Chain A
Amino acid sequence: MAARPREQFSDREQRLLASLTEHGPGFYALVGLLVAVIAWGIIAYAMQLRYGLGVTGLRDNFMWGIYITNFVFFIGVSHVGALMSAILRLTGAEWRRPVTRMAEAITFASLLMGALMPFIDMGRPDRLLNLLLHGRLQSPILWDMLSITTYLTGSTLFLFVPMIPDIALLRDRFADGPAWRRRLYAVLSLGWKGTEAQRHHLETIMAIMAVLIIPIAISVHTVVSWIFGMTLRAGWNSTILGPYFVFGALFSGAAAVVTAMAAFRRAYHLEEYITEAHFRRMGYLVIALGMIYAYFTFAEYLTPAYKMAAAERGYLSAVFTGQFSRLFWFTQIGGVLLPVLLLTLPRIHWMPRLREIPMLQPRPALATVATYAAAMIVLSLVAPQTAALGGVDVAQMITPWVIAALGIWLFLALLPVFHDRPIAAAVVASVLVNVAAWWKRFVIIVPTLQNPFLPIQRAPAGWGIYQPTWVEWSITAAALAGFVLIYLLFSKVFPIVSIWETREEPAHRPIGHGETVGVSVS
């Protein structure tokens, strides 16, 4: 089969294959940075192997911390594949076609990172085989192992199978790149010719996997939640933990797809295929999932707060008004309320009229906020002396209110800006969602551990509170870098937007800005 030169690709295909062909210096710089972060993480892990888990901040009272947070976070993000590819496919949402592969790739990369985390958290990774030799089926960890491997296999199939026609296209016409790449395409394309029978098989597989992957995905995060739910601790001993985690996962996964969509759209100029309409629809998904997630959070915290049973009083106070209150309210206000507002308010048609209010001009507003922030920092340095004088920590008291006021002001000033740039709004919203999602997992784990049934007493210095160390942060950063790197490398070898799925029936493609119907089909 002679490889034809690149000019044989139509404009559309060339655009969609841009990610495979363009190798700017930016790409290499990014890969270099990611590899450096991963290398640093490996060094940190080597320290942990050598000296034991004592190099982390974990101690007897808080035996799970950042690693398990990462585990829950990454497995959570991985649910988006099932959502986008399977659920949207079954409901016939045709607009999903350009973004399904991105979603599946996110699932794949994040499952790999997520599945890695419990092994990093183990005290004796050299005894890994014991899980297979002496595994107890009654333990939630075994359920985790079984369901994550099942989901990983299913996701890999679900990622690979729709790629076959595209790989066949690359095999036929992509002459660029080293020989190994052409061999890879030849092997992976499974001799695809586009015949009727082959298409039939492909459609059958897709239909089966779409139905199969949904219960598997739901079971994955449910059993992940049950490593907490099956204990007696206050805060974890909750019946709705399973569904709560599933919807939290879908929420943060959908937001991750929005971020990925924006990133690839900008980097490879895919404006025609990932349009504002896609962002709008993904926005609806994020809003809907956010509302459900907020409902679950409300139920999860209001129900024990109404009763304030003795066992739960400690962690509820810590979360609402105590040690973890800033984190908790950030995850709810900054992680759910703010993104939903950012996705909805800018679309209101009279938003630009806000610019007429002089106070809400963006530049003066930003300048004022910056000045206030600087003043607050200075005040916080000076304040300890005033507190000693007056006995009342004025800075402590007014800080939340000042921050809230400034935040609202800034928000209102930026709304007209976002009205003109809905995709920017969507990106800001999705990044906030994911950052807050990570901290929310932290807030689920640590406050409960800090408030056990029997009080924490006679703990050596530093064993009374969880203080993560550089090892844990390095490994977290390395996991994130690994996730991004896998995704990036994937986009370099395979087209990130499905060529053949977006080719079919132009009438089904959503109408976005400046797009014409009836692009030449090659």
Chain B
Amino acid sequence: MPVTHEAAQRRWVMIIDLAKCDGCRECTRACNAMHFIPPGQEWIRVYEMQDHEAGSAYWLPRPCMQCDNPPCVKVCPVSAAWKREDGIIMQDTERCIGCRFCLAACPYGARTFNWVQPEETEEQRLRPYDIEWNIRHRKGTTEKCIFCPALVKQGKLPACADACPMGAIYFGDQVEDAVTNSQGETVRFSELIKEQAGYRLLEDLGTEPRVYYLPPRKRLYPAPPAAPEPAAAGKEHR
């Protein structure tokens, strides 16, 4: 079992089975609801991808990869982004100075920025600022998916994994070598990756992400429609 750190109690890891993802974006909705995310931001974004013309089109949910060689942590001038012992890259919006270097450095585009002061609901205002819940948002700071440490601490799956009606998102501890999905299915992490040839996004960049994907082979749900137009000036996008 890959225990890489002496005191590593946990190493969170996520597997997303692309054969099961049907692009319903329930994960995005659940994440946006749980964190009261301002409009326009998506911390887990479901892309419509097609690797090459002859390849299959598929849906790709992309949370923050919580990289083990994180470009964002390297460039933050005030250490507002740092890697916790359990593998999560935390974001301290009390310290962030809003330079947006981490947004520039992240190759996955997983980070978002609060360009204006987001509107807060009553419910939000009652909650204190907590770095593990990420519910209060501040103008001029960067935010991103942090694998819901507040939920995970209570033994619950992160919001996206829990909300997926297809059970496509597995989440677990690499030290325990077990990942679970919303259907209660628990499997051995190493076995699942080996059997289904799990891979990581943009592996060549060497960021060592902690989110693995299972190829969309023998997919259970229909593919997205023909490759979408890239976003152009002023055009409304799905």
Contacts and interface: CB of A to CB of B under 8 A. Distances in A.
Interface of A: 51-54, 58-61, 63-64, 118, 121-125, 127-128, 130-131, 134-136, 138-142, 227-228, 230-233, 449, 452-465, 467
Given A54-B115, A130-B97, A141-B75, A60 B103 contact: yes
Contacts of B116: 51-54
Given A134-B95, A135-B78, A230-B75, 13 more contacts: A52-B114, A53-B116, A60-B103, A61-B109, A63-B100, A118-B99, A124-B141, A136-B79, A458-B47, A461-B235, A464-B232, A464-B235, A465-B233
B225 to A, nearest CB: 13
Contacts of B165: none
B97 A123 contact: yes
A123 B231 contact: no
Contacts of A462: 233-234
Given A52-B140, A130-B97, A454 B109 contact: yes
Interface in B92-106: 95-101, 103-105
B69 to A, nearest CB: 11
A226 to B, nearest CB: 10
B41 A465 contact: no
A66 to B, nearest CB: 14
Point out which of A228, A452, A455, A462 has the most chain B C-beta atoms below 10 A from its C-beta: A455
Contacts, number: 165
Contacts of A228: 104
Contacts of B84: none
Contacts of B74: 138-139, 230
A122 B77 contact: no
Contacts of A141: 75, 77, 99, 101
Contact of A231 (B71, B234, B236): B71
A456 B237 CA distance: 10
A461 B237 contact: yes
Which 9 pairs across A and B sit closest by C-beta, in order of nearness?
A123-B98, A464-B231, A123-B140, A54-B115, A54-B116, A141-B77, A63-B100, A139-B77, A52-B116
B99 A123 contact: yes
Q: How large is the interface on B (under 10, 10 to 19, 20 to 34, 35 or more residues)?
A: 35 or more
B7 interface: no
A459 B71 contact: no
A135 B47 CA distance: 36
A10 B96 CA distance: 59
A232 B100 contact: no
B238 interface: yes
A456 B230 contact: yes
B156 interface: no
B113 A63 contact: yes
B37 interface: no
B97 to A, nearest CB: 5
B62 A461 contact: no
B78 A136 contact: yes
A64 B105 CA distance: 11
A453 B202 contact: yes
Given A52-B116, A465-B232, A124 B237 contact: no
A460 B75 contact: no
A123 B77 contact: no
Contact of B42 (A134, A452, A458): A458
A121 B113 CA distance: 13
Nearest to B93: A124
A122 B99 contact: yes
A457 B107 contact: no
Contact of B101 (A125, A139, A232, A458): A139
A404 B49 CA distance: 41
A454 B236 contact: no
B97 A453 contact: no
B199 interface: no
29 contacts: A53-B116, A60-B112, A63-B103, A63-B113, A64-B100, A64-B104, A122-B140, A123-B100, A127-B98, A130-B78, A134-B95, A136-B77, A136-B79, A140-B101, A141-B77, A141-B101, A230-B74, A232-B207, A233-B104, A456-B230, A457-B237, A457-B238, A458-B45, A458-B47, A460-B39, A461-B234, A464-B230, A464-B233, A464-B235
Given A54-B116, A136-B76, A457 B48 contact: yes
B217 interface: no
A467 B235 CA distance: 13
Contacts of B113: 53, 60, 63, 123
B129 interface: no
Nearest to B115: A54
A462 B148 CA distance: 30
A63 B109 CA distance: 11
B127 to A, nearest CB: 21
A465 B139 contact: no
Contact of B231 (A52, A63, A459): A459
A408 to B, nearest CB: 32
B105 A232 contact: yes
B84 to A, nearest CB: 16
Contacts of B140: 52-53, 122-124
A351 to B, nearest CB: 45
Contact of B75 (A140, A457, A461): A140
Contacts of B108: 453-454
A11 B140 CA distance: 58
A514 to B, nearest CB: 54
B222 interface: no
Contact of B237 (A118, A123, A464): A464
Nearest to A459: B231
Interface string B198-238: 00011001010000000000000000000010111111111
Contacts of A59: 115
A353 B113 CA distance: 61
Contacts of B155: none
A128 B100 contact: no
Nearest to A134: B78
Contacts of A135: 77-78
A142 B237 CA distance: 38
